Structure 1
């Protein structure tokens, strides 16, 4: 039976996800067979697993850090918010229904917790170490009796706990003390130490605080992680949508049910983007409709709030329009939806020659494709799909050459006049494609071409893990784990 280590946070955004990612790589580099686990995650950024189901993108990244193929076992319960205090419940990668927060707490949560703990038992049986990520704060008094992602998991697993806090926000020592005071004695006993995250400055100045914590709780500070510039996805529960202008004006419409907004991170690094919430703001060189958790409802929202007219006017004025996944479906001629919104036939925006029919089985696959869009024709790209719809177009954006490594030949997406749409989540993480796309538009504006630095998730994980390892007492953690 393997050991388990749990990372808890004093709040959402404390840095639990990335600390777990770093620990996964650190212990993997030391030769341990390590896997990540989060019993329940609430996220709109999901990715496909080897089984074909969805998991949170955070656990997807952590699996890569462990040098494991992403599995639904690493995130058995995924909640995907739908608005109006309802969420789609995904268990072991498959949607099992849509429930209100109250109904979920009172009727489904206990059953799913028991099943998730069975999965955790299996992981502990098969691996040297399971690194467990908590969710939010473990001591929210109004939620603690219903919490199946924090200390209840830690005690069930017999895990050692690390409590991490974001010192950049301020109030870290108070947050740690408050959290420790609200923990039950057996929960407090399981904590082996504290980690201060995102620190800018001289760590020696924090000494009196460390001494206070050790004297009060007989627990050490295990590390002070400096503020690190990186390109790894942050926890999405606190994601801020930036308004960073560059030489090109790239706009992304912030849909009510926006999903997989990590698709656009390379545009942030290469140029800067502006997430817009009002139709009168639409006037960018590029206007992007992102993925949606509820495509038809968001399409009707665009229509009712003037966005559709604004998009069409911007297109007439020369804006390039892009749609990803649900955004692609919206830009087509029509959608037949008897599955998600059950509204039947709905007219699309009409900038792409595509028709979409929603199917009951969700496709969640890794894809490799060849671009057919003329400016990047023949370019090899890869990404993933998470969708209910199947679309047909006489002018596809690309042809899928491999689905989960199996050979395929399947047209996808659509190309229009100064517009394209695609099902390929992660298309902009293909840096050669993104560079080609942006430079096409820059040339039109008389701007100098740019070069996007090529990098890999592997390099980012390794680099971040090395910084964490340098500033964390790994030997002490190993000793506490007994491995």
Structure 2
């Protein structure tokens, strides 16, 4: 039977995911077989495992920190918001349908908990340590009866809980005391320690507050974790978009990522944003479009609604003018579909729209199917004509998550990607589209810019059009992620009472 520790928060975005990631790396470095777990994720940033199962992005980072391959047992329930208080419900990596918040919470969530218990049973059998993440706050009294991600999990496992508060936003002490007050007595008993997160300044000035907190609650404060700049770890969900750059800064290449209302998998652009010659910013309004060198259209959980948003907001017209001027436009997944001529959804898989017009920058139409394609892929890029350059790159790794079947309508367009392996099965599938003019292309492959050679080749093509010299690739994104996990673990280990934590977990018995 595995040892357990559960990270809960006084609210969303207090750092539960990050501290869970840190503990995974700390225990991994101790030689333990450690696995992350979150019963239910509500997120638009998702990932596809080798077996073709869809799961939340946060548990992928945690798995990497734990030195293991992501698997769906780490996140058995995934809710992907589609709009109008509805979500696509994904159980053990497979969609089971769209449900309203009321339908899910009052009629289905406790059924989904059966999948949670089965996944926990397998992890408990196979691993030494399970680091569990909660969601939001465990003290939401209106949701508590049907909540399957917080105290229901802790009580099912009899898992000790760390309660985390974000002091950077203010009110940390009140939120800790208030959360504990709203918990039932048996739930309070499971809370074995408190953690103050995202602290800035001299921690000695906080000592009186910590002493008061321990006296008031009867719970030990296990540590004060500092605010960590430039963490280099994938964001969990769109709440973190509030912290993203909204205006361009200094950089040879300015990239505007269009932040549509239902944006998904914006982690596709993290590797680009970390390039030294790039200024990457997010655009929600036409007035903030600026003068980018590259426009990026991201994935979407509701492609037709996001396409209508582009037209109504005026951003769509700006993208067309940008492309007409010969400047670069790139679309990923839903953004790729929007670059085409039409998007058709006769089965209403995403919305009530039967059909919407696309931007018309690529010769293709997309018909939504009722079955979702989820697969990891390996692909080659062969002679992608982009900004006057011919780009080729082999052994590209990524993943697909989409429900659309795309048909090509323009013979002059090229299709530069070839998928050679899909879900560990060899294939030879043409993928992606590039216009003859050479400034617009799109692909279904998420994570394509995590491939170092391809990313630098795309940026260099734009550099050359601006009269700038090409740069050698000096980065290894995968190695950088591992360095980020090490740095995070070092900081948390330094500021957390690890001896007390081990005692709480029963590791010293």
Question: Normalised by the size of structure 1, how large is the TM-score?
Answer: 0.93
Bigger CA drift: 453-462 or 342-351? 342-351
CA contact (8 A) 2:57 2:236 kept: no
| The 10-residue stretch of structure 1 (10-19 or 467-476) with the greater mean CA deviation from structure 2 | 467-476
Please list the CA deviations of residues 301-320 of structure 1 after superposition, one character each: whole Å capped at 9, or x if unmatched: 32344333322112112321
Residue in 2 aligned with 1:311?
319
| CA–CA distance in structure 2, aligned partners of residues 468 and 151 of structure 1 | 24
Q: Which residue of 2 aligns with 1:410?
A: 429
Q: Distance in 2 between matches of 1:378 and 1:57?
A: 26
After TM superposition, the structure 1 stretch with the greater mean CA deviation from structure 2, 59-68 or 357-366, is 357-366
Q: For structure 1, which runs of at least 5 residues remain unmatched after alignment?
A: none
Structure 1 residues 432 and 227: CA distance shift in structure 2, 3 A: farther
Partners in 2 of 1:244 and 1:306 — Cα distance? Answer: 18
Could you list the per-position Cα deviations for residues 315-368 of structure 1 after superposition, in whole angstroms to 9, with x for gaps in the alignment? 112321111001111212334433424755654322123343333332222222
Deviations 1:162-200 (A, max 9, x none): 111112222222221121222222111111111122222
The 5 Å alignment of 1:130-209 reads 130-209=130-209
Q: Please identify, of 354-363 and 194-203, the stretch whose mean Cα deviation from structure 2 is larger.
A: 354-363
The equivalent residue for 2:399 is 384
Quick check: 275-284 or 204-213, which moved more?
275-284
- Aligned-residue Cα RMSD (Å) equals 2.2
The CA distance in 2 between the partners of 1:179 and 1:227, in whole Å, is 22
Query: What's 1:434 paired with?
Result: 455
Q: How does 1:333-482 map to 2 (within 5 A)?
A: 333-339=341-347, 340=349, 341=351, 346-372=356-382, 373-374=384-385, 375-393=390-408, 395-416=414-435, 417=437, 418-447=439-468, 453-456=475-478, 457-482=481-506
1:78 shift after superposition: 0.6
Contact 1:138 1:151 in 2 (8 A): yes
> How far apart are the structure 1 equivalents of 2:178 and 2:353?
49
Q: Which moved more, 1:194-203 or 1:9-18?
A: 194-203
Using the TM superposition, give the Cα deviation of residue 215 of structure 1 relative to its aligned residue in structure 2, in angstroms: 2.2
2:60 equivalent in structure 1: 60
Query: Is 1:260 aligned with 2:268?
Result: no
- Alpha carbons of structure 1 residues 452 and 101: separation in structure 2 relative to 1, 3 Å: farther
Q: Report if the CA contact (8 A) 1:15-1:235 is conserved.
A: no
Quote the residue 1:72 is aligned against.
72
- In structure 1, how many angstroms separate the alpha carbons of the residues matched to 2:355 and 2:218? 64
Q: Which residue does 2:226 correspond to in 1?
A: 226
TM-score normalised by length of structure 2: 0.89
Measure, in 2, the Cα distance between the counterparts of 1:411 and 1:56.
Answer: 28
- Say which SS state the counterpart of residue 234 (structure 1) adopts: coil
C-alpha distance after superposition, 1:439-467 (max 9, x if no partner): 32233223465566434222222221122
Q: Which SS does the other structure have where 1:376 is aligned?
A: strand
Aligned partners of 1:285 and 1:318 also within 8 Å: no
Task: Kindly tell me the number of residue pairs found equivalent between the two proteins.
Answer: 483
Cα distance between partner residues in 2 of 1:343 and 1:238: 27
CA offsets per residue over residues 185-228 of structure 1, 9 Å max, x none?
A: 21111111111222222222222222222223332221222222
Structure 2: runs of 5 or more not aligned:
none
Q: Deviations over 1:41-70 (max 9, x none)?
A: 100000012331110000111122222221
Residues 189, 124 of structure 1: alpha-carbon distance in 2 compared, 3 angstrom cutoff: same
Which residue, 298, 301, 304 being the options, matches 1:296?
A: 304
1:35–1:127 contact (8 Å) kept in structure 2: yes
Secondary structure at 2:116 match in 1: helix
Deviates more, 1:199-208 or 1:340-349: 340-349
Structure 2 CA distance for partners of 1:169 and 1:109, relative to 1, 3 Å: same
Q: Contact (CA 8 Å) 2:377, 2:422: kept in 1 or not? A: yes
Whether the 8 Å CA contact 1:13–1:235 is kept in 2: the answer is no
Aligned twin of 2:236: 235
Change (3 A) 1:280 1:436: same
